[in-house]
């Protein structure tokens, strides 16, 4: 059965298929850690067998090669799961997170499908520029949205060809870039999937690419680059000061915006600094100023809003690796003599070099605070139409689709307010929003990652499936802290704009100790 001869090429106008291969994977033991199977808990499954199918195609008049991978399980549950990417990857089994999610999906009986959108390399330097000064717009558009519709059509067709019937339900599963992909599908291809989980989504990717450089240009303007330990100490002081505001001492601040914390109270405080064996150092006023700038977000030359900042309590420096990239917007690098310089976020560095300057050799550290506004506007003008998601999901609603998203309040890459702002903009013209779209804010959670703290909603994907197939909307979802953070604690996440409130007395809280209200 698992033979290319048994599987017909899908019929897709404008596409020419160039290869199709298939091999049987038998009796595989699959072990996937929590949150690496996106929007799920950990998976352990034995004796999993599936047909590993790969097909490639090109577009008429183009020289591209798009690769789609489909895992077809021996014990099929009648459903298909599309799997998204992260960073500059559209997906594909070469991307670690997509690979884990594909394995988790097939272990649960889904036919699983993912695409590389025409660029096999995980490095944007290998595909964004056709030549110096010239961006490959075709590949960007494939990455931005086109490949996602193709994935849906091809994945369904191959699934039907293999099993003799189409999937009864199809789902999208992604976080970060995969989250943006999910919302873009809902906006542009509303019938592609019945249900979409699109977490920590980069719905304003064209803004993120420039505005996340803000802390670095602020340090450049100050002429001071504080040590990473100063930023860590400020974040830890905020959490310690605000932790009990929700009635529960658990190292997690449930509502960061409601806590009145003065970081200037820490200036000149002595801390033990592990940065290049610095010993004891004092927290500088510059560190506080940069911290506040990171919390506030990028501003125009007149001081008005340009981009959201991180929530207080999120890591300001590269303390946790998420999705294989550095995460700290204010990260510095210090030499043995104590001299420090800035370190640009990988995603920002590539965006400004390749997409804005169109010059792979451009030195992003030369960008000044005065440059940001113009670069930001250029980014929106050139790439907003390709990547950003318009806050209108009317056709998705009319098609009967359902979409769920979470955003960690300690996300160190994507400001949580990008998600709440998007939700508010959709809700502004659609009073039915709660009937098909629910957003959950996750206190203490980093970017797409359970990591060492925060409340992770491992059952989010299952909540979507239940909503689509039984009509039962999730009024709350269970969330738990990671075992890496000591004793596991439970809470609930509430559909925005509601928040979870603690009504218990035990420090070992369970989900029953929380309720949702505005």
The answer to whether 447 is a known catalytic residue is: yes
The answer to whether 119 is a known catalytic residue is: no
CA atoms of 327 and 95, how far apart (whole Å): 18
User: At a CB cut-off of 8 Å and minimum separation 6, what does 241 contact?
Assistant: 259, 261
DSSP 204-224: THHHHHHHTTHHHHHHHHHT-
CA atoms of 270 and 284, how far apart (whole Å): 10
The catalytic position among 176, 379, 419, 491 is 176
CA atoms of 378 and 366, how far apart (whole Å): 17
CA atoms of 466 and 429, how far apart (whole Å): 27
The catalytic position among 411, 418, 476, 482 is 411
The answer to whether 411 is a known catalytic residue is: yes
The CA dihedral of 65, 71, 77, 83, to the nearest 10 degrees, is -50
Closest C-alpha among 248, 276, 407 to residue 332: 276
Burial of 235 (0-12, 13-18, 19+ CB in 10 A): buried
Cα angle vertex 89, ends 155, 74, to 5°?
35
User: At a CB cut-off of 8 Å and minimum separation 6, what does 445 contact?
Assistant: 406, 408, 409, 410, 411, 451, 453, 454, 455, 456
Find out whether 481 and 442 touch, Cβ atoms under 8 Å.
no
Closest C-alpha among 494, 512, 501, 517 to residue 442: 494
**3-class state of residue 478 by DSSP:** strand
Find out whether 255 and 243 touch, Cβ atoms under 8 Å.
no
Query: Under the phi-then-psi rule, with left for phi > 0, alpha for psi from -120 to 50, and beta for the rest, what region is 271?
Result: beta
The catalytic position among 145, 246, 447, 513 is 447
Burial of 506 (0-12, 13-18, 19+ CB in 10 A): exposed
Q: Return the active site residues.
A: 176, 411, 447
């Amino acid at each position: 059965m698992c033979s290319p001869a048994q599987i017909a090429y899908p019929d897709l106008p404008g596409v020419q298929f160039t290869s199709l291969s298939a091999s049987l994977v038998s009796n595989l033991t699959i072990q996937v850690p929590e949150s690496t199977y996106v929007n799920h808990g950990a998976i352990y499954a034995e004796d999993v067998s599936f047909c590993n199918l790969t097909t490639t195609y090109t577009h008429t008049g183009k020289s591209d090669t798009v690769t789609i991978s489909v895992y077809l399980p021996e014990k099929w549950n009648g459903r298909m799961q599309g799997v998204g990417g992260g960073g500059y990857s559209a997906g594909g089994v070469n991307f670690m997170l997509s690979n884990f999610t594909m394995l988790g999906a097939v272990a649960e009986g889904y036919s699983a499908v993912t695409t590389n959108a025409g660029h096999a390399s995980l490095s944007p330097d290998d595909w964004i520029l056709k030549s110096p000064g010239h961006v490959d717009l075709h590949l960007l558009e494939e990455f931005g949205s086109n490949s996602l519709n193709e994935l849906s059509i091809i994945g369904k067709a191959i699934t039907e060809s293999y099993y003799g019937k189409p999937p009864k339900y199809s789902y999208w599963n992604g976080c970060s870039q995969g989250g943006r992909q999910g919302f873009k599908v809902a906006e542009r291809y509303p019938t592609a999937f019945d249900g979409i989980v699109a977490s920590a989504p980069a719905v304003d990717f064209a803004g993120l690419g420039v505005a996340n450089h803000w802390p670095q240009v602020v340090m450049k303007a100050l002429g001071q680059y504080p040590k990473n330990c100063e930023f860590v100490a400020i974040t830890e002081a905020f959490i310690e000061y605000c932790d009990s505001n929700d009635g529960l001492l658990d190292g997690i601040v449930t509502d960061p915006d409601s806590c009145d914390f003065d970081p200037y109270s820490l200036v000149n405080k002595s801390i033990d600094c592990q940065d290049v064996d610095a010993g004891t150092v004092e927290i500088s006023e510059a560190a506080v100023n940069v911290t506040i700038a990171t919390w506030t977000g990028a501003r125009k030359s007149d001081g008005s809003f340009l981009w959201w900042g991180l929530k207080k309590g999120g890591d300001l420096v590269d303390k946790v690796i998420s999705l294989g990239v550095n995460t700290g917007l204010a990260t510095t690098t210090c030499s043995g003599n104590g001299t420090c310089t800035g370190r640009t976020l990988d995603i920002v560095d590539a965006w400004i070099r390749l997409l804005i300057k169109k010059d792979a050799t451009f030195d992003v550290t030369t960008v000044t605070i005065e440059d940001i506004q113009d670069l930001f506007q250029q980014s929106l003008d050139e790439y907003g139409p390709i990547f950003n998601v318009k806050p209108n999901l009317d056709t998705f609603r009319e098609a009967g689709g359902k979409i769920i998203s979470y955003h960690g309040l300690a996300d160190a890459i994507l400001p949580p307010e990008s998600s709440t702002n998007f939700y508010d903009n959709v809700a502004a013209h659609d009073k039915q929003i709660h009937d098909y779209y629910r957003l959950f804010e996750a206190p203490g959670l980093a970017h797409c990652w359970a990591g060492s703290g925060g409340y992770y909603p491992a059952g989010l994907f299952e909540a979507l499936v239940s909503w689509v197939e039984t009509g039962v909307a999730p009024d709350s979802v269970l969330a738990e802290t990671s075992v890496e953070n000591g004793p596991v604690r439970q809470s609930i996440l509430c559909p925005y704009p509601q928040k979870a409130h603690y009504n218990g007395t035990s420090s070992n809280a369970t989900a029953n100790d929380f309720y949702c209200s505005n």
